[in-house]
């Protein structure tokens, strides 16, 4: 029988843990509670006063400022946030929620789990490298491309929330983010190392692949050197952009073919991630393109940037990738914020279209804004009538301006309140009422219909025909439809693509 | 993409004194290390493994092979026999010269190889051993760790090769599995969070292993 140890957290709650280490990382050793509903983790090395104070703030004030607000429960799924601090036999520890079940492999690897990873944590790397996806990970674990977009969306949202609170994670990587692409879920873990500018400096420079170029470039300098760059909000933004790129395109944005040092591979690595870092898809400087001839067959088609350019992620994300990896790569102030990533991801979800090929591995793709849409992943063309709704919103009575936001229509596509009103954003602030569908689209006998479920103002503008709740409206090219009146109320203009 | 290879060389003592429980424990430890490494996506992408065994001669037991293709059977140990570590180093030098890819203008070369040596005695071919050492040092290994297993192992000779010598007090399964766990953790360390100061890249040894410095 294993021993159960009972002790108290510093704020006086009783905790129990089993005296057996179930996991061990670089910094901490982890124990389960007897019922496994939470874990107790102890630092391996003694922590200084500043680290203790920081942990106190993380389990206390910072946690309360995120979780104890209206909508605070939303964040419980997006963060594994430590809830209390304790000391036991001279070691500092923390109490944290257990990772939800879906973040552990249900099927694991191919061929009856040949690698024996069933039940292990779904570390992001498995899903972010084409070779691992194609050769090892069980296809049931992989999820489709829409779920990868959702993973990225939740990740951007979690980072946005931390940054809003004035906190930086400092070590975002696929090790510190759990993902479940089979359901489109993500959770940020290891937040105990977070950085508060001017108050708590970082403990680490980050994890290789995700460290910002300015940090790599100056890592040889002493910690106190004024030119040394350490993790902060802007370096989180680099890591976030890399994560999103890798989860959508299954390759690293800076790991191309360019060799900077023939003799010393460590220096080559430092240059290609630091001073000489160059986007593999830079539009004019092609010197760091991935050399398709030298990649493994199982890295294709993803290693082929001509076949799978970043532009397949759609206009909103493509713009942010350019800003992150061209202008912002060596100029941290130009990196897109987590909020911008979140907004772009939300808008990209509206541009998505199901692939007509039932065997398409990715199942969904972003509308490419042409009259002959085609799935970039399996090359299956779209056939039939494809309505595209262009969204406009009202700034003042009777005047509608374009929102640079489109909604692709497919059978079963839903219309939500955030489509009908530009002042409502689909995020943690939505009330239960606002989460309900207000309409949907259906293709019936070759004609597209919008069915009104909860839009009291719905009206076809040209004929001033009102569509009552429960009624339906046929979509036609050039049609204008008013979704809602009042501030932020939306008007849509229908474009019909006939492919 | 075009992930660099991380070559890992393991030199295993199969001399007569390893016969019985020690060699059995080494086999168990080796298999456990392989499964642990295969569960690490970073290792699976980069690690290439080679095993050289040595007793009265040195043999390339496993040529440099990508981790996912590695299959190793039971390593045997003869009834008796010397510990030709020098010969093993000579074979290693040939292999490294043959296998390690240097960067070219077009292709990224390998990471510096890692070398792990496990022995329970001391080199019987001391002269050859000493002659091989400068050659080994010229091969620019990322790190060299020598493990002296049991009380008969001589640390002095090993320390001429590397200052990173660990000792295993016992030669049972627990001790060896601790050592191989440490090897796999050392291999995986490249994918973990890096500290602010440049430091030794190896994780702290498990409690069973003593680090001799």
- Residue A182, pLDDT > 90, answer yes
All residues of chain A having their beta carbon less than 8 Å from the beta carbon of residue B45 are: 129, 131-132
Contact across the interface for A206 and B194, Cβ inside 8 Å: yes
Contact across the interface for A252 and B1, Cβ inside 8 Å: yes
Q: What pLDDT is stored for residue A340 in this prediction? A: 97
Residue at token pair 């304790």: A86
- Average pLDDT for chain B: 82
CB A313 within 8 A of CB A321: yes
| Residue A189 maps to a domain | yes
Facing residue for B2 by CB, picked from A132, A266, A291? A291
Whether ipTM > 0.90 holds is no
Contact across the interface for B108 and A268, Cβ inside 8 Å: yes
Please state the domain count of chain A: 3
Facing residue for B106 by CB, picked from A44, A130, A257? A257
Query: Among the three residues A78, A98, A118, which one is the final residue of a domain in this structure?
Result: A98
All residues of chain B having their beta carbon less than 8 Å from the beta carbon of residue A202 are: 196
Residues A311 and A448 in one domain: no
Strand ordering across the sheet containing A447-452: A414-415, A439-444, A447-452, A472-474
Task: Tell me the backbone φ, ψ of residue B140, rounded to 5 degrees.
Answer: 60, 55
Query: Among the three residues A350, A367, A401, which one is the final residue of a domain in this structure?
Result: A350
How distant is the Cα of A465 from the closest Cα of chain B, in angstroms?
56
pTM for the structure as a whole: 0.91
Between CA A68 and CA A56 the distance in angstroms is 16
Please list, residue by residue across A318-327, b when 16 or more beta carbons sit within 10 angstroms of its beta carbon and e when fewer do: bebbbbbbbe
Q: What pLDDT is stored for residue A361 in this prediction? A: 92
Quick one: closest CA in A to B6, which residue?
A265
Contact across the interface for A261 and B197, Cβ inside 8 Å: no
Helix (H, G, I), strand (E, B) or coil at A193: helix
Q: Residue A446's domain spans which residues?
A: 384-498
Q: What pLDDT is stored for residue A161 in this prediction? A: 93
In sequence order, what DSSP letters do the residues of A480-493 get, joined into one string?
EEE---STTBEEEE
Q: What pLDDT is stored for residue B200 in this prediction? A: 42
Tens of pLDDT, residues A130-159: 999 999 999 999 999 999 999 999 999 999
| Residue A375 maps to a domain | no
- State how far the alpha carbon of A308 is from the alpha carbons of A133, A164, A281, A365, A375, in Å: 16, 34, 10, 12, 11
| Residue A258 maps to a domain | yes
C-alpha radius of gyration, chain A, whole number: 25
Tens of pLDDT, residues A229-270: 989 999 999 999 999 999 999 999 999 999 998 888 888 888
Contact across the interface for A206 and B41, Cβ inside 8 Å: no
Facing residue for A205 by CB, picked from B45, B103, B194? B194
Q: What pLDDT is stored for residue A2 in this prediction? A: 75
CATH number at residue A443: 2.60.200.20
Contact across the interface for B106 and A291, Cβ inside 8 Å: yes
Between CA A497 and CA A410 the distance in angstroms is 12
Q: What percent of chain A has pLDDT over 70?
A: 100
| Residue A358 maps to a domain | no
Residues A121 and A140 in one domain: yes
Tens of pLDDT, residues A335-357: 999 999 999 999 999 999 999 99
A255 burial class (0-12, 13-18, 19+ CB within 10 angstroms)?
Answer: buried
Nearest to B92 by CA among B38, B133, B39, B150: B133
Residues A110 and A258 in one domain: yes
Residues A405 and A463 in one domain: yes
Count of A-B CB contacts under 8 Å: 108
CB B100 within 8 A of CB B142: no
All residues of chain B having their beta carbon less than 8 Å from the beta carbon of residue A303 are: 1-2
Contact across the interface for B105 and A259, Cβ inside 8 Å: yes
Task: Tell me the backbone φ, ψ of residue A340, rounded to 5 degrees.
Answer: -65, -40
Phi-psi region of B194 (alpha: psi -120 to 50; beta: other; left: phi over 0): beta
How distant is the Cα of B24 from the closest Cα of chain A, in angstroms?
23
> What mean pLDDT comes out for the span A90-113?
93
Residues A86 and A157 in one domain: no
Facing residue for B193 by CB, picked from A26, A120, A259? A26
In sequence order, what DSSP letters do the residues of A310-356 get, joined into one string?
GGGG-HHHHHHHHIIIIITTS-GGGSPPHHHHHHHHHHHHHTEEE-S
Nearest to A162 by CA among A197, A133, A129: A197
Between CA A365 and CA A380 the distance in angstroms is 11
Tens of pLDDT, residues A446-477: 899 999 999 999 999 999 999 999 999 999 99
Residues A261 and A333 in one domain: yes
Q: pLDDT by residue for chain B (213 residues), tens digit each?
A: 557 888 999 999 998 888 888 888 888 888 888 888 888 888 888 899 999 999 999 999 999 999 999 998 888 888 778 889 999 999 999 999 999 988 888 888 888 888 989 888 888 898 999 999 999 999 888 888 888 887 777 788 888 998 888 877 766 666 666 777 767 666 666 556 666 655 445 555 555 555 554
Facing residue for A259 by CB, picked from B1, B108, B196? B108
Enumerate domains of chain B plus CATH numbers: 6-190+202-212 (3.40.50.410)
How distant is the Cα of A460 from the closest Cα of chain B, in angstroms?
51
Nearest to A62 by CA among A151, A154, A194: A194
All residues of chain A having their beta carbon less than 8 Å from the beta carbon of residue B70 are: none
Q: Could you tell me which residues are beta bridge partners of residue A123?
A: A178
Residues A197 and A220 in one domain: yes
Residues A179 and A259 in one domain: yes
**Could you tell me what percentage of chain A is helix, strand and coil, using 3-state DSSP and rounding each to the nearest 5?**
30, 25, 45
CATH number at residue A29: 3.30.200.20
Quick one: closest CA in A to B113, which residue?
A265
Preferred mutation among A29, A50, A105, A115 to probe B, highest tally of B CBs within 10 A: A115
């Amino acid at each position: 029988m294993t021993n159960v140890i009972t002790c108290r957290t510093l704020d006086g709650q009783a905790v129990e843990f089993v005296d057996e280490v179930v996991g061990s990382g670089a910094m901490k050793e982890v124990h389960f509670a007897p019922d496994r509903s939470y874990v107790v983790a102890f630092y391996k090395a003694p922590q200084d006063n500043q680290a203790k104070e920081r942990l106190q703030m993380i389990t206390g004030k910072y946690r309360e400022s995120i979780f104890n607000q209206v909508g605070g429960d939303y964040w419980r799924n997006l963060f594994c946030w430590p809830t209390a601090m304790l000391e036991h036999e001279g070691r500092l520890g923390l109490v944290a929620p257990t990772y939800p079940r879906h973040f552990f492999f249900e099927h694991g690897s191919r061929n009856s789990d040949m690698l024996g990873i069933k039940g292990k944590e779904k570390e992001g790397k498995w899903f972010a490298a084409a070779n691992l996806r194609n050769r090892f990970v069980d296809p049931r674990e992989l999820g489709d491309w829409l779920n990868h977009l959702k993973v990225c969306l939740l990740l951007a949202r979690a980072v946005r929330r931390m940054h809003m609170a004035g906190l930086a994670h400092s070590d975002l990587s696929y090790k510190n983010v759990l993902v479940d692409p089979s359901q489109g879920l993500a959770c940020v873990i290891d937040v105990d190392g977070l950085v508060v500018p001017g108050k708590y400096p970082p403990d680490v420079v980050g994890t290789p692949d995700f460290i910002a170029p300015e940090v790599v470039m100056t890592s040889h300098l002493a910690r106190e050197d004024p030119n040394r760059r350490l993790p902060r909000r802007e370096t989180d933004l680099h890591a976030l952009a890399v994560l999103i790129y890798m989860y959508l395109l299954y390759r690293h944005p800076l790991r191309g073919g360019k060799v900077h040092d023939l003799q010393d591979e460590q220096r080559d690595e430092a240059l290609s991630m630091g001073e000489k870092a160059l986007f593999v898809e830079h539009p004019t400087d092609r010197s760091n393109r991935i050399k398709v001839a030298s990649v493994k067959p199982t890295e294709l088609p993803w290693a082929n940037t001509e076949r799978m350019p970043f532009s397949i992620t759609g206009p909103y994300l493509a713009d942010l990738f350019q800003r992150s990896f061209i202008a912002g790569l060596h100029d941290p102030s130009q990196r897109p914020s987590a909020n911008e990533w979140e907004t772009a991801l939300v808008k990209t979800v509206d541009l998505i279209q199901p692939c007509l090929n039932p065997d398409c591995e990715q199942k969904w793709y972003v509308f490419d804004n042409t009259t002959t849409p085609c799935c970039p992943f399996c090359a299956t063309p779209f056939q039939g009538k494809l309505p595209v709704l262009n969204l406009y919103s009202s700034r003042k009575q009777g005047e509608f301006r374009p929102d640079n936001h489109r909604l692709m229509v497919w059978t079963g596509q839903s219309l939500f309140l955030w489509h009908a009103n530009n002042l409502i954003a689909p995020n943690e602030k939505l009330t239960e009422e606002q989460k309900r569908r207000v309409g949907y689209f259906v293709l019936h006998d070759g004609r597209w219909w919008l069915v009104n479920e909860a839009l009291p103002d719905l009206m076809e503008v040209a004929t001033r025909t009102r569509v009552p709740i429960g009624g339906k409206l046929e979509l036609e090219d050039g049609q204008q439809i008013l979704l809602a009146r009042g501030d932020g109320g939306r008007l849509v203009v229908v474009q019909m693509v006939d492919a | 993409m075009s992930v660099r290879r991380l070559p890992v060389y393991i030199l295993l003592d199969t001399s007569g004194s390893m016969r019985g429980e020690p060699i059995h424990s080494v086999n168990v430890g080796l298999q456990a290390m392989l499964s642990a490494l295969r569960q690490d996506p970073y290792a699976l992408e980069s690690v290439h493994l080679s095993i050289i065994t040595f007793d009265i001669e040195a043999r390339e037991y496993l040529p440099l092979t990508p981790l996912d293709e590695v299959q190793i059977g039971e390593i045997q140990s003869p009834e008796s026999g010397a510990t030709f570590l020098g010969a093993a180093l000579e074979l290693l030098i040939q292999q490294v010269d043959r296998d390690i890819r240097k960067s070219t203008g077009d292709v990224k070369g390998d990471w510096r190889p890692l070398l792990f040596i496990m022995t329970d005695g001391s080199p019987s071919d001391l002269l050859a051993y000493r002659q091989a050492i400068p050659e080994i040092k010229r091969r620019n290994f990322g790190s060299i760790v020598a493990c002296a297993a049991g009380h008969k192992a001589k640390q002095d000779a090993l320390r001429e090769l590397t200052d990173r010598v660990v000792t295993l007090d016992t030669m049972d399964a627990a001790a060896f599995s601790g050592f191989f766990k440490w090897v796999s953790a050392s291999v995986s360390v490249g994918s973990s969070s890096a500290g602010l100061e440049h430091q030794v890249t190896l994780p702290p040894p498990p409690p069973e292993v003593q680090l001799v410095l």
